[in-house]
Amino acid sequence: MTTPALLPLSGRRIPPLNLGPPSFPHHRATLRLSEKFILLLILSAFITLCFGAFFFLPDSSKHKRFDLGLEDVLIPHVDAKGAKSSGVFLIHGPDEHRHREEEERLRNKIRADHEKALEEAKEKLRKSREEIRAEIQTEKNKVVQEMKIKEKKPLPPVPIPNLVGINGGDPEDNDIREKREKIKEMMKHAWDNYRTYGWGHNELRPIARKGHSTNIFGSSQMGATIVDALDTLYIMGLHAEFLDGQRWIEDNLDFSVNSEVSVFEVNIRFIGGLLAAYYLSGEEIFKIKAVQLAEKLLPAFNTPTGIPWAMVNLKSGVGRNWGWASAGSSILAEFGTLHMEFVHLSYLTGDLVYYKKVMHIRKLLQKMDRPNGLYPNYLNPRTGRWGQYHTSVGGLGDSFYEYLLKAWLMSDKTDHEARRMYDDAVEAIEKHLIKKSRGGLVFIGEWKNGHLEKKMGHLACFAGGMFALGADGSRMDKAGHYLELGAEIARTCHESYDRTALKLGPESFKFDGAVEAVAVRQAEKYYILRPEVIETYWYLWRFTHDPRYRQWGWEAALAIEKYCRVSGGFSGVKDVYSSIPTHDDVQQSFFLAETLKYLYLLFSGDDLLPLDHWVFNTEAHPLPVLHLANTTLSGNPAVR
Ligand code: DMJ
C-alpha cells in the first residue's frame, strides 16, 4: 500500500516521517506529522504576534531597568527640558522619528528571522530519518572532538620540584641484584596477566582469568590496576608496559560516568597514581587526568560541615556515606587521607580550592574535643559530632595519622601545625593503645567503648614504618625511642607471619593469654596480598640498614611466590594457617602499587627515591617534597 504524501504550503512533497515503533501504522504517523506541522505554524504566528506586541506596547519593561539603577548605562532617557524622566518614558520631536525607524527595522528583522526559522523547520521535515540521524551523529562527534581538545589543553606551567633519584638504585651486591630482578619478574607476571585477561577492568581474577571489581571503584571499568601500577612499572624500568598503560589512560580513562565511587580510594589510588606518574615521567596527560578527577570529587565536600561524604557519584555529584558506618558518619581514615594529593593539586593547578578543602577539615578537627586525646574513627558530616568512640591505628583510622606526619614532611618540614597534631596523636596512642604482651611483643590495640581490645590488624603494621619515619624531628629529641618503637612493631608483625603455615600474615591477630600474634576467628585468617608489613620492613631498612629487614622481606616474597602465584597472576589466600592454600581469586591493585614496589625498593640502593626528596602516599605513590621554604601555599608564586 502506498502512503499518501503531504502537500505543504511550499508545494514540495514531504516524505512521511515514521518515528513511532515499527508496528505503528504508517498513515497514522503521517497524520500525526501533519498535525505537528500545523501546530508549528500556529506557534510561529503566535510568537510573531508576541514579538510585535512587545515593541508596540508602552514600555513597562524599561521601568524595571530604572528600578535596577542602570538607566544611565542602558538608555539615557532625557525629556525635552533635559530633566531626568525618573521612570516616565517620554518621546518628543526628532527622537520620535528615530524611534519609529528603529521599531520598523526591528519588525523587519523579526519577520526575516521568523521566515528563516520556518524554512529551516520545513527543510528538516523534508529529510529522511537516516539523514537526521547522520546529522545528529555529526553534531555529537563535533562535541566529543571539542571536549578532547579541551582535555588536552595544558595546565598553567609551574616550577617542577627537584626530582631526585627517579632512576637507579642498582645494588652492588649480586645476591641483592638477583632478588631485585626476581621481584621485577613477579611484577611482569602480575601485569602481563592483567594485560591479557583483565585489561581495562579495575582488577583481575587470576584463576577465572577475567576482570574483577568492587564497589569502591563504582560500577564502571576505570582500569584501577593500570593507574595504580604505573609508577611501579616506571621505577622498575618496564617502559613498554608503562607506555601501554599511558595509552589506555589517554584513550579510555573517562570520569564523566554515572558511577558512585569511594572518595578516599579514588584519591589514594587514582589521583595519587596519576600524580606520581606525572612527576616521574613528565607526561602532561597524567596531570590533566588527575585534575579532571579531582574536580569530580569536589561535590563530596558539599556537606553542612565540609567533612566529605565517603562516596560520590561522579556524574551527578550526589554524595552519601557507607550504610555500615556508625550513625551516618564519615570515616577518619577516609576524610583524613586527602591532604597530600590535594596540596599537590593546588600546587600544580594554581587553584587553591583543593588546599582549602583539606585545611578546612584539619581546622575542624583541631577544634574538637578528643576523648583521652584520641581521635574516634567516626565523625558525622551533618552535625560535626563524633559517632561511636572507636579508635584504631589499623582500619578506619590508620592513614589519618600517616598523613599528618607526611603533610609535614611534604612541606619540607614547614607545616608545623601538622607535625604538632601528629606528635599529640602519637603520644595519646602510646599512652592508651600500645602495650607489651606477656611474651614481650609490642602491639597496638584498639579502643572500643571504654576498653582496650588486644587485637592488632594487618593494616596497623604500617605504623612500624610511620614511627621510624617520624623519629627525626620528634619532640624532646625522642628519635631513638620512636625508631625503637618502629622496630618493635616490625618484630611483632614479622611474628604474625612466622606463626602461620604459609609464612604470610593474617588479616588480624590477637594477644590473649597464651595466644600471641595469631588469628583466632576463621574470618580473620586471610591474606589478600597486603603491603603493610613489607612497607614497615622497607622504612626500617632505610633508617637502620639492619640486614634482618631484607631477610624478612625476602621470606615474605618467597611465600607470596609459592602460595599466591598462579598461572594467571597472583591471588590472595583464605587461610594462612592451612598448609594447602585456598585462593580468593583476586589480584588486588595495591599488590602492584605497593607490595611489589616496597619489595623492589627493599632490594634497591637508597639513591632510588630518597626519602628526603620523596614522600609516599598511603598507596605507595611517591610525591616530591615541595620546597616552599618560609611561605604558605598561597604565597607560592606557582599559585595564581
Ligand atoms: C591500601 O589501599 C592502602 O595502603 C590503604 O591505606 C589501606 N590499605 C590498602 C592495602 O592494604
Among candidate residues 265, 423, 584, 585, the one labeled active-site is 265
Closest by Cα among 179, 204, 178 to 191: 204
* pLDDT single digits (tens) 374-388: 999 999 999 999 999
For residues 268 and 138, the model is more confident at 268
Active site residue 427: no
Active site residue 532: yes
| Coil, helix or strand at residue 511 | strand
Find the farthest-apart pair of alpha carbons in the chain and give their distance in angstroms, rounded: 108
Could you give the percent of the chain with pLDDT greater than 70?
80
* Residue 48 pLDDT: 53
State in Å, rounded, how far the first CA of the chain is from the last one. Answer: 71
Confidence of residue 459 (pLDDT cuts 50, 70, 90): very high
Among candidate residues 532, 535, 585, 594, the one labeled active-site is 532
If you take atom 3 of ligand 1, which residue's CA is the nearest one?
Answer: 619
Q: How far, in Å, is the centroid of ligand 1 from the Cα of 525?
A: 18
Q: Which residues contact 602 (CB under 8 A, 6 or more apart)?
A: 534, 537, 538, 541, 549, 550, 553
Q: Which residues contact 302 (CB under 8 A, 6 or more apart)?
A: 317, 319
Strands 319-320 and 311-313: antiparallel
* Residue 151 pLDDT: 55
Provide mean pLDDT across the span 430-455. 97
Q: How far, in Å, is the centroid of ligand 1 from the Cα of 414?
A: 27
Confidence of residue 158 (pLDDT cuts 50, 70, 90): confident
Strand order in the sheet with 260-262: 260-262, 311-313, 319-320
> How far apart are the C-alpha atoms of 535 and 537, rounded to whole Å?
5
Q: How far, in Å, is the centroid of ligand 1 from the Cα of 501?
A: 24
* pLDDT single digits (tens) 168-205: 999 999 999 999 999 999 999 999 999 999 999 999 99
Evaluate if residue 605 carries a pLDDT over 50.
yes
Least confident of 120-124, 146-150, 602-606: 146-150
Full-model pTM? 0.78
User: Of all atoms in ligand 1, which is nearest to the CA of residue 535?
Assistant: 4
> How far apart are the C-alpha atoms of 194 and 211, rounded to whole Å?
8
Provide mean pLDDT across the span 384-409. 98
* pLDDT single digits (tens) 332-362: 999 999 999 999 999 999 999 999 999 999 9
Confidence of residue 420 (pLDDT cuts 50, 70, 90): very high
Confidence of residue 138 (pLDDT cuts 50, 70, 90): confident
Substitution candidate for ligand 1 out of 264, 267, 399, 588 with most atoms within 8 A of CB: 399
Asked if residues 496 and 518 have their Cβ atoms less than 8 Å apart, the reply is yes
Asked if residues 599 and 232 have their Cβ atoms less than 8 Å apart, the reply is no
* Residue 162 pLDDT: 82
Among candidate residues 241, 398, 488, 594, the one labeled active-site is 398
Confidence of residue 76 (pLDDT cuts 50, 70, 90): very low
Least confident of 95-109, 228-242, 274-288, 506-520: 95-109
Binding-site annotation, residues for Ca(2+): 618
Among candidate residues 203, 341, 507, 619, the one labeled active-site is 507
Pocket of ligand 1 (CB under 6 A): 399, 459, 530-531, 590, 594, 618-619
Provide mean pLDDT across the span 235-251. 98
Binding-site annotation, residues: 618
User: Of all atoms in ligand 1, which is nearest to the CA of residue 402?
Assistant: 6
Q: How far, in Å, is the centroid of ligand 1 from the Cα of 462?
A: 9
Evaluate if residue 143 carries a pLDDT over 70.
no
Cell numbers describing residue 597? 614496589
If you take atom 10 of ligand 1, which residue's CA is the nearest one?
Answer: 530
* Residue 113 pLDDT: 81
Provide mean pLDDT across the span 93-115. 77
Evaluate if residue 579 carries a pLDDT over 60.
yes
